[in-house]
Chains A and B, each alone.
Chain A
Amino acid sequence: MLLEVKDLQLSISFLKSEKNILRGIDLYLKEGKTLALVGESGCGKTLTALSILRLLPPRMRIEKGEIFYQGVNLVNLKEEEIRRIRGKEIAMIFQEPSVALNPVFTIGEQVAEVLKVHQGLNKREAKERTIELLKQVRIPDPHLRYKSYPHQLSGGMKQRVVIAMALAAEPKVLIADEPTTALDVTVQAQILDLLLQLKEEKGLSLIFITHNLALTKLFADTVAVMYFGQIVEYGSSDSLLKEPYHPYTKGLISSLPRDPSSPLRPIPGTVPDITSKINGCAFHNRCSYKTQKCFSLSPPFFKIEDRKVRCWLYENN
């Protein structure tokens, strides 16, 4: 196992009181595989990723749990030690490429900086390597583009630069946080294609965060569906998409407009505030399958073959 998250619990301190955010997350990432984290905004997907890199916002704290990367528990590492993992072993790309790039430096300088810091290359070597990286992410005319500023590039090109930066230090794990949400459909297809090719070429392992379950089909080996700081369903992407068990996963799938003749069935209601307290199953107020039990008791994982589901409906399976 390359990366393993065990019972991760995250909390935020707020006016002297502690509030839970992540309520026990378990994740496994094998080498060369892709894990997708799926769920609506505000369910804790990004915070799970940030916990792995220990890039949490102020006042947030890992309460409990372990994160093993190649056998090392990242939770206990000192700041200098985690810095050697961040970027070099585990890198991350974010949703909005225009925010991730510094507007006053050329894109070449920004990629080269990563190489100078992590690989200790000198100026000339860093430039050569940068151009090579820009070529790898299929940026046309990398020699000329080296001198471009972020505003001179389109959204898709900027996301390519961000990917080049993330890959500069040759990480083993790449966390992609909604990398295509801000992009056009045609560009989205190109970027996903690029990620898939790079994964093959470099033997990367991917954690792919998205709110669109349909995207995982192309990509992911395993899918973890998140809701309210918990994983509610976990399984291989093929079987999970074909036959979702958890009512929330079902809702996410039926929310996608696919066939104009089959009506949309959106999930009623909205995502609860992740810091609030909910008795019983966190999804019960939006669930159409709920029973009396769901109001008072929070369901544990039930195992059905290779699938894990946090729902009382599967208690007796």
Chain B
Amino acid sequence: MKIIEAINLKKTYTLKKGLFGKKVQIKALDGVTLFILKGETFGLVGESGCGKSTLGKVLLRLEEPTEGKIFFENKDITNLPLKDMKTLRRKMQIVFQDPYASLNPRKTILDILGEPFIVHYQLPKKEILEKVKFLLEMVGLPLDSIYKYPHEFSGGQRQRIAIARAIALEPSFVVADEPLSALDVSVQAQIIELFLRLQENFGLTYLFISHDINVVAYMAQRLGVMYRGKLVEVGPTKEILKSPLHPYTKLLLESANLQKEGRGFPRFRSFSDEENGEIQGCAFFSRCEKAKLICKENTPELKDVDKERKVACFL
């Protein structure tokens, strides 16, 4: 069963160059269509600025889409009034990248983790205390953390607090937006374990966003690769790892695998800043080694390769 589905999502931001300069449209999302099944982990990879985080936020309607539709549990939520969204937010939550920025430094852990229960259920203090204790236990933090402030915790512990806050209202869908990138390798492994354990205990569905394809490959059953606002490849993780189809996916895999296998570096052209404007044809054209004439003139659509795999490339 599909828990969330996006159809042709677009999000454009308007930037003004200088005080009187002309307006520039930045397409953060350029027609993204995807669905996530209940209980699975869907991994989203891509470089900074490719629209991964925007997609996560738009799906939860923390940002409003410019175009397109979002369905949550088969219900169209694209234009749902904010009042109704609030009820729905119990079911959809987010964990942010930087646990130093996402926790209010002036509130105790009890305040931070208790707030969802006050906002959504107006629970009495005593019950909140019980709930918070249960949450701390779930994420593996000592119970005496309750009256401490965020600065008293390490990065990994803070991320545990952020995760506890996200699961407080027993959501069914959690967006994890680069939850590991601010952490040490050894702590990353602990947090990955925590995510997996919580998924088992609560039957959670994750949208796991990361630029590290190794992490995503470990967590996710299905994988989406994003490049400049578009999904360029979607499919089961195992198959994508075994035989990546899009040249960009290959590039990502090579960059990540060199850490594993210790061979030479992939040589490739980098993404230059000048390209930010309007793009014609395939967005990856200027970096692609196999580019043909058709790639410059036409934009490839995301097309079915087989039952489960899709790729946006003329090759």
Contact = CB atoms under 8 A, between A and B. Distances in A.
Interface of A: 40-41, 140, 152-157, 184-190, 192-193, 196, 211-215, 217-218, 251-252, 254-258, 260, 264-268, 270-271
Contacts of A152: 273
Interface of B: 47-48, 154-157, 184-190, 192-193, 211-215, 217-218, 237-238, 241, 251-252, 254-256, 258-260, 262, 265-268, 270-273
B48 A255 contact: no
* Chain A to chain B: the 5 pairs with minimum beta-carbon distance, closest first: A266-B189, A255-B189, A257-B218, A217-B262, A193-B265
Given A257-B215, A260-B238, A218 B259 contact: yes
B259 A211 contact: no
B252 A266 contact: no
A258 B262 CA distance: 13
A40 B189 contact: no
Contacts of B266: 189
B142 to A, nearest CB: 11
Nearest to B260: A258
B255 A264 contact: no
A212 B192 contact: no
A186 B186 contact: no
A258 B157 CA distance: 24
Given A184-B48, A189-B265, A212-B259, A260 B218 contact: yes
Contacts of B156: 270
Given A251-B186, A258-B214, 15 more contacts: A155-B48, A157-B273, A184-B48, A185-B211, A185-B212, A185-B213, A186-B47, A193-B265, A211-B185, A215-B259, A255-B186, A258-B260, A264-B218, A266-B189, A270-B157
A213 B154 CA distance: 21
A192 B184 contact: no
Nearest to A210: B185
A251 B157 CA distance: 19
Contacts of A140: 272
B211 A40 contact: no
Contacts of B258: 189, 218
Nearest to A43: B184
B154 A270 contact: yes
B246 to A, nearest CB: 14
Contact of B237 (A255, A260, A267, A270): A260
A157 B283 CA distance: 21
A187 B212 CA distance: 12
Contacts of B184: 40-41, 211
A255 B188 contact: yes
27 contacts: A41-B155, A155-B48, A156-B270, A157-B273, A185-B212, A185-B213, A185-B252, A185-B255, A187-B47, A188-B255, A189-B265, A189-B266, A190-B270, A211-B184, A211-B185, A217-B259, A217-B262, A251-B186, A252-B185, A255-B188, A256-B189, A256-B214, A257-B192, A257-B217, A257-B218, A267-B186, A271-B154
Interface centre among B212, B218, B268, B273 (most CB of A within 10 A): B218
Contacts of A184: 47-48, 211
Nearest to B47: A184
Given A154-B273, A252-B186, A186 B255 contact: yes
Contact of A264 (B193, B256, B267): B193
B186 A266 contact: yes
Nearest to A154: B273
A189 B185 contact: no
A16 B85 CA distance: 56
Contacts of B193: 264, 266
B265 A214 contact: no
B32 to A, nearest CB: 20
Given A184-B47, A184-B48, A215-B259, A40 B214 contact: no
